[in-house]
Amino acid sequence: MAMAGEVHSVVFPHTPMPFAARSVLRYVLGVVLLAALYAAAAWVGLRYVTIGHSVSLVWPSAGIAFAALVLLGPRYWPGVALGAFAANASTPVPLAAALGIAAGNTLEALLAAYLLRRVAGSRPQLEDPLQARTLLLIAIPAGAIVAALVGVGALLATGALGSLAVAQALASWWAGDALGMVVVAPVLFSWSAQPRIRDTRRLLEVVALVVGTAAAADLGLLRGVELELLQQVEYTYLLFPFVVWAAVRFGPRGASLITLVVATVAVWHTARGGGPFLVGSTGGTLFAVACYLLVLAVTGVVVGSAVWSERDRATQALQRSEERLHLALDSARMGTWYWSVETNALVWDDNLRAIYGLRPDEAMSSYEHFITRVHADDREYVSQMVGRTLESGDALDYEFRILLPDGRVRWIADQGKVGRDAEGRPRYLTGVCMDVTERRSAEERLRQSHRMESVGRLAGGVAHETNNQMSVVLVAADFILRRTDVPEVARADVEHIRKAAERTSAVTAQLLAFSRRQILRPVALDLSALVRNWEGVLRRTMGEDCTVVLRTAPSPAPIRADPGQLEQVLLNLALNARDAMPRGGTLTVETFAAEIEDGYLRRRPGVSVRPGAYVVLAVSDTGNGMGPETLAHAFEPFFTTKGVGHGTGLGLSTVYGIVKQSEGYVWGYSEPGQGSTFKVYLPVARTHVVAEAPAAEPPRLAGRGESVLLVEDDAAVRQMTRRALEEGGYRVLEAATGREALKLLESSVEPVGLVLTDVVMPGMSGRELADQVAILRPGTPVLFTSGYTDGEIVRRGLLDPAAAFIQKPFGPEAIVRIVRERVEAATLPSKPDSREPA
């Protein structure tokens, strides 16, 4: 049962829609108002009757009825019928003739509205040439001929019109109704679709155009003014420029308005017996006026439609071109700039401002502002390059560093050209900038990889030759020591020689391992079992002040490797960790399975990595850690941060060589003060694996447009993770630091489905950020990630054991899957929290 005040409407296919009381009242008022408008306009038209009592060449009511049934819908036809009957019933024609004329006028409006609505709908846009052609060539002529035939037929049938006047009546009736529709309807169509002009200058231009046209029309159509110029020139046709001007500047809406102004002035003067169209008879005069106004109105609509259609196509083409340009600039991380040498005005686009990390309200308006953003070590170089370009006129092409507000350093490639005046003086510089930090990092990694390979080949050659010579020394030393006739003093010297040769052999063995020239005897083995068997050795190696923690997978897939060489890898990593913890600490050794996917490979340019299944040996310490510069050279032979006489610098290089020769990969993760983690990836053995039916892949979980806040201080990791999440169906907000993430949360009003944050970050850790997120956005799930293993992160107290964690590296499918799981888990508060290792 409906409550009082409620309005219910149900739409049944192919049945009229029932109206509530309010809708019925609104409809009735609309019909009455339309009838009144039609009758009032008809009263004006009946003043210009030329044949009988009803045939007029001025019939604005036709335009009002036509526009009303297009804009309001055909269901308002009773308003047209009532208004037409009331207007014609007030004339001396019989009531039957008035009914027939009203029926013709109603059919006229219905037919014209139907023909136009089929093409344009209920809101015609006369800027569209197709709609303009339909209006002028189909809807108006067809509607007017129906009204003429029915109206004249009604007059003829009731005896109100003689048969001799039928032809002239049909022509006059058709011309009057067509004129009314072509003059009045376009104004209503255009100004109802775009009723307001918000630009004050354009509004003043419209007002000036209307007033000027009215004045010009009045001056040209009023022949009472004796001006010799008006007698020599067909001044009426000089009104066409006003219509064309309006059509060009404002389209059909402007042209139709000016046409209505001219029509009003022309009919007014003609009715008063003046104007240039007087031809002796009232009918002929009005017919001349009608033809003039028809030509004027059609010209305005056609010109306005053609000009605005071409302008719209040109605008759309320009927008598409700009969109493609912006897309290309965005994809390439490029921004454009313009610097006026004369005024020192500097203009940057939004892309370039984003590259430099500028806030929306931060000014960058001069060359001096720009140079403050350049790295201090590169400012002189930048100034020299700009000065040289201005002097020589050559193209600007160089690279330099900039300093972002958060302290990060980025590399910028700048290209530009000089614009000169007629005298050859430089006027401006313009060009594009591109962030090439990732490219330079990739190039540096590639150079490092090539350097490692070159050093490896050199080290292998040196080690091989050295071992040959040391073999001679050791054998000769043994021969000498076996002799009984050697004095004790000489025997002691030979013993020193032998020990030195053995030490040299050990160093060259490490060089051979680095250069991957040693002989390996790979077998299928269980990496977890090997680590557990070495637990005692590791504890003795680390000493009493260091804690050794083993976290081995119960039964990882087998690998093929040389057990002795893997033990060497484990020992070298342990020794390296012990040296990093001079005051004691914790060594954590873990084994687990991993899958290297294509998304991870894209983050390792310059390194050829095969995707597939691997078993990982992760060795973590709580030592001093290393910065990026030190970590970049960690695997190079003879590179060491220890003092002279402490270590050979071959520990990690040996690890590198053994792992490479075992067809694996090794990477280090470290930050100053946070210790280090070295991960050794060894491929799963394809043999000795029991063939099993392949398990069905779990369904890929994709996002559904949820927002994910990604917080990662490493730009490359952040970029690739964002791409993986966006391709997985998520919307990504990104931040480089925890404080930047909190600002995004405070300023954003949209819901955030999950926060994905690195654990170890400068300034604010991931755990501290999670605490703030719980305050700002209660209930928002947080997923942690790190290059350190999850066990190592928890052991150091950087993360709660129950926290959701995914370990780097991860592939796109893995991160999308676990984010989906965490987002869905957050929507089910009754479901206990569980964490699946990734």
Per residue in 806-830, pLDDT tens? 766 566 677 888 898 888 887 765 4
DSSP-derived pairing of the beta strands 559-561 and 585-596: unpaired
Q: What is the 3-state secondary structure (H, E, C) of 455-517?
A: HHHHHHHHHHHHHHHHHHHHHHHHHHHHCCCCCHHHHHHHHHHHHHHHHHHHHHHHHHHHCCC
In a domain, 187, yes or no: yes
Q: Are residues 721 and 601 in the same domain?
A: no
pLDDT at residue 103 in the model: 93
pLDDT in tens, 657-709: 778 877 788 888 888 888 889 898 888 886 553 333 344 344 455 677 888 99
Cβ atoms 410, 402 nearer than 8 A: yes
Instruction: Judge whether 791 lies within some domain.
Output: yes
175-197: buried (b, 16+ CB within 10 Å) or exposed (e) per residue? bbbbbbbbbbbbbbbbeeeeeeb
The span from the CA of 503 to the CA of 496, in Å, is 11
End-to-end CA distance of the chain: 57
d(Cα 244, Cα 70) in Å, to the nearest integer? Answer: 26
Q: How many separate domains does the chain show?
A: 6
Strand partners of residue 340: 428
Q: Are residues 543 and 452 in the same domain?
A: no
Of 132, 160, 195, the domain-final residue: 195
Peptide bond into 556 cis (omega under 30): no
Q: Which long-range contacts (CB under 8 A, 24 or more apart) does 391-399 make?
A: 393/418, 393/420, 393/426, 396/429, 396/431, 399/436, 399/440
Q: Is 323 inside any structural domain?
A: no
**651 and 731 in a common domain:** no
pLDDT over 70 at 38, yes or no: yes
Can you give the CATH number for the domain in which 653 is found? 3.30.565.10
Over residues 627-647, the pLDDT tens digits come to 777 777 677 665 655 543 444
Q: Are residues 26 and 170 in the same domain?
A: yes
Q: Which of 26, 327, 287 is nearest to 179 (CA)?
A: 287
Whether residue 120 sits in one domain with residue 98 = yes
Q: Where are the beta strands (DSSP E) in 671-812?
A: 676-683, 707-711, 731-735, 754-758, 782-786, 804-807
Lowest mean pLDDT among 135-144, 160-169, 261-270, 401-410: 261-270
pLDDT digit string (tens) for 310-355?
777 777 777 776 667 666 666 656 788 888 888 888 888 888 888 8
Enclosing domain of residue 109: 20-195
Handedness of CA 304, 308, 309, 310 (dihedral sign): positive
**Where are the strands (E) in 770-819, listed by range?**
782-786, 804-807
Give me the pLDDT at residue 77, please: 92
Q: Of 171, 195, 219, which residue constitutes the final position of a domain?
A: 195
Q: Are 101 and 87 in contact (CB under 8 A)?
A: no
> Could you give the dihedral angle defined by the CA atoms of residues 312, 315, 319 and 322, in that order, rounded to the nearest 10 degrees?
160
Task: Looking at the structure, tell me whether residues 550 and 679 fall in a common domain.
Answer: yes
pLDDT in tens, 741-768: 999 988 888 889 899 998 888 888 889 9
The verdict on 419 and 556 lying in the same domain is no
What is the pLDDT, as a whole number, of residue 517? 46
Domain end, chosen from 634, 651, 683, is at: 683
Same domain, 251 and 285: yes
Q: What is the pLDDT of residues 59-103, one digit of tens each?
A: 888 989 999 999 998 999 999 999 989 988 888 889 998 899 999
C-alpha distances out from residue 516 to 15, 263, 520, 662, Å: 85, 97, 9, 9
pLDDT band at residue 363 using 50, 70 and 90 as cut-offs: confident
Q: What is the mean pLDDT of residues 118-133?
A: 84
838: three-class secondary structure by DSSP: coil
Domain CATH number, residue 735: 3.40.50.2300
pLDDT of residue 696: 39
Nearest to 191 by CA among 124, 242, 262, 111: 124
Identify whether 712 is part of a domain.
yes
Residues 569 and 639 in one domain: yes
Predicted local distance difference test score (pLDDT) of residue 826: 79
Report pTM: 0.43
449 and 424: one domain? no
In this structure, the answer to whether residues 420 and 397 fall within a common structural domain is yes
667 and 551 part of one domain: yes
Q: b vs e for 36-48, b when ≥16 Cβ sit within 10 Å of the residue's Cβ?
A: ebbbebbeebbeb
- Distance, in Å, from the CA atom of 445 to the CA atom of 605, rounded to the nearest integer, reads 7
Does any domain span residue 29? yes
pLDDT of residue 484: 81
* C-alpha to C-alpha distance for 140 and 683, rounded to whole angstroms: 80
Residues 337/431, Cβ–Cβ less than 8 Å: yes
| pLDDT of res. 516 | 44
